Amino acid sequence: MQAEYVIVGAGSAGCAMAYRLAEAGKRVTVIEHGGSDAGPFIQMPGALSYPMNMGIYDWGFATEPEPHLGGRVLATPRGKVIGGSSSINGMVYVRGHARDFDTWAEMGADGWSYADVLPYFKRMETAHGGSGPEFRGTDGPLHVTRGKRENPLFDAFIEAGRQAGYPVTADYNGQQQEGFGPFEATIHKGRRWSAANAYLKPALKTGKVQVLRGLARRVVMEGRRAVGVEVDTRAGRQVVRAGREVILAASSINSPKLLMLSGIGPAAHLKEHGIEVVADRPGVGANLQDHLEIYMQFSASQPITLYKYWNLWGKAWVGAQWLLSRSGPGASNQFEACAFIRSKAGVEYPDIQYHFLPIAVRYDGKAVAEGHGFQAHVGPMRSKSRGSVTLRSGNPADAPVIRFNYMSHPDDWEDFRTCIRLTREIFGQEAFKPYLKAELQPGPRVQNDIELDDFLREHVESAYHPCGTCRMGRASDPMAVVDPECRVIGVEGLRVADSSIFPQITNGNLNAPSIMTGEKAADHILGRTPLPASNLEPWINPNWRVSQR
C-alpha cells in the first residue's frame, strides 16, 4: 500500500489524524513501536496503575538526576502501545482553560485561540453530561463520561470547597472551569475509551489506514524535503515513503528526538553527535514543561474507602465484576471529583488543580497507606521552570536525555507551599468532619517554609504531562519549531502534531488538548478552511483582581 501520509506514533494526536485523513479518502501508514492494547490491564479503568509501569506498554523513560530535587530521578512514562499514552494514562479529561489557548495565540500560535479551538473540542467529543451542546460536543468519536460518585467522599470534597468559599462548577470543560465539581473521563460503557478505541480502530476498518510495527529511526530527507521514514521492523530496516507528507506525533519526548536524528535541531548539538544539519532550529527539544504534584493524604475515621479492595480477594472480586459486567469499582478511574482554583488575588484564572481519590495510594500503585484513607493530588498549573530533551547519542535505540529542571524557579516553591496550606484549609471544613481522622502526609509537624520545602523536595511527583519541545510559533521566531499549521519551519513535507507543539502547558491533564491538536492539524494537512471560530466567552471570576475566591 502506497501511503500519501506517514504518521509516526499511534497516540492521542496520531490516531485522531489517521481517522480524519481516512475519512477524507487519504491513504495513511501509521508507524507504532508498541503492540496491542488488548487485555484487562489497559481496558479496565480501575487498573490504571499497571500499564504505565509495564515495559510492554511504556517506553520506560526517566529524567536525569534533578538538581533542585536533591538529585532524584523521576519516571517519565510514555505509551508504547496502540493508543499511545491515552492507553496508559489516568483517563482524566480536561480541555484546559480558555485563557490557555488565548495565551498560545499571543505567543505566536495564530489561529489557536479559544475561539479557534473550541469548535475542534466540540467536534471530537460526545459528552455524556456537562453543560449542553453550546460548549460541548454531541456526536464526536471520543466518549466523555462522569463517574457515579457513589462514595460519599467525592461529594464531601465538593461540599468542603463550597464551604471554604470557592465556586462550584457543573462543568469545568464548559463555560466555567473555576471551582469544585465532578470529574470527567475518557471511559465509555465501563472501559477505557482511548484514542485507539475512539479513532484508530474505526479508521482501520475503512481500509485506508495501515499500522506498521517498528521503531522509527529518522525522517528520510531529500535535500530539505521529507520523503519518508526509516523504520526498523521485524523484517529488517526499511524506508516507508510518503507521497505527500510525513507527520510526527511521537510525543513530546520522541518527536524532538526524531527531528534531531533527522538533522533538524540545534546545529552545534547535532554536529556533536555526527548528524548532518538539514535545518538549524535551536528550539527543537527546548521549552520542556510538566506539571508537578504532591499527594496530600489523610486517614479515614470510617471504613468507606477503596482500601477494602486492596488485598488479593478484593482485587479478584473487582476484576471479576468488571470482566463479567463492565461495572463496579473497576469501571471507574476513581477520579470522580476535582477542583480548579486560583492561588491568590490578581490571578485571572485557575492556577491550581485538584484530583481527589478515595484511597491513600501513589499514582503508580507502589505504596498504599496502611488502612483506610483518602488523598488529593494538588499542584500548580503554570510553573516557570523549563527543561530540555537532547540526544544521548546518534543511535536511535538510545533513550534521549530528559532534564525538566523541576522547581528551578523560586516561584514554584512559593506556589507549592500555597497549595499545601490551601488544601489543609479545605480538608478542615465541616464536610470532612465525619470522615477525617488525621493528616498522614505531609503530616501535622510539617508547618514552616523550611519544613514544607524539605517535604516538597523529597515528595513532589510528576503528573506525567510533558509538553512544549517543538513549540508552535511564527516562522520568524527563531525558537519556534512548527508554524501555526504544524509545518516544521525550514523544511518541506514535514509536520509535528502532538503535545510537543504546545507553546505553554495547559490547565489540567494533556490528553484532551493533544487529541484536539490532532483534529485541528488534520484540517491543516488537508488544506481545509478551519472550522468557524466560536463567539462564546468563558466565565472569569468577576472579583479576580481583588479576591482569591
CB 9 within 8 A of CB 251: yes
Report the alpha-carbon distance of residue 5 to residue 516 in Å, rounded: 19
Question: What does the angle CA 477 – CA 478 – CA 480 come to, to the nearest 5 degrees?
Answer: 65
- CB-based contact 511:116 (threshold 8 Å): no
Distance between CA atoms of 520 and 510, rounded to whole angstroms?
Answer: 15
Q: How far is CA 453 from the centre of its chain?
A: 26
Contact 342, 549 (CB under 8 A): yes
Choose among 434, 501, 446, 496: nearest CA to 468. Answer: 501
In angstroms and rounded to an integer, the radius of gyration of the C-alpha atoms of the chain is 22
CA atoms within a 13 Å half-sphere pointing along the CA-CB vector of 318: 22
Helix axes 152-163, 410-427, angle to 10 degrees: 110
- How far, in Å, are 138, 154, 333 from residue 161 at the CA level? 30, 11, 22
Count CB-CB contacts under 10 A for residue 139.
Answer: 9
Report d(CA 87, CA 45) in Å as an integer: 10
| Rounded Cα–Cα distance for residues 161 and 341 (Å) | 10
Q: Give φ, ψ of 475 to 5 degrees.
A: -60, -25
Pairing of strands 191-192, 187-188: antiparallel
**Catalytic residue selected from 269, 377, 465, 524:** 465
The whole-angstrom separation of Cα 21 and Cα 345 is 46
How far is 6 from 11, CA to CA, in rounded Å? 14
AA identity, residue 255: S
378: phi then psi, degrees, rounded to nearest 5: -140, 140
Q: Is residue 244 classed as helix, strand or coil in its secondary structure?
A: strand
d(CA 419, CA 125): 32
State the DSSP H helix or E strand holding residue 321, giving kind and residue range, or none if neither.
helix 312-325
At which residue does the C-alpha cell 475512539 appear? Answer: 198
77 phi and psi angles, rounded to 5 deg:
-65, 140
Catalytic annotation present for 409: no
What three-state secondary structure class fits 231? strand
End-to-end C-alpha distance for the chain, whole angstroms: 58
Residue by residue, DSSP assigns 113-162 as SHHHHHHHHHHHEEESSSS-TTTS-BS-SEEEEE----SHHHHHHHHHHH
Catalytic residue list: 465
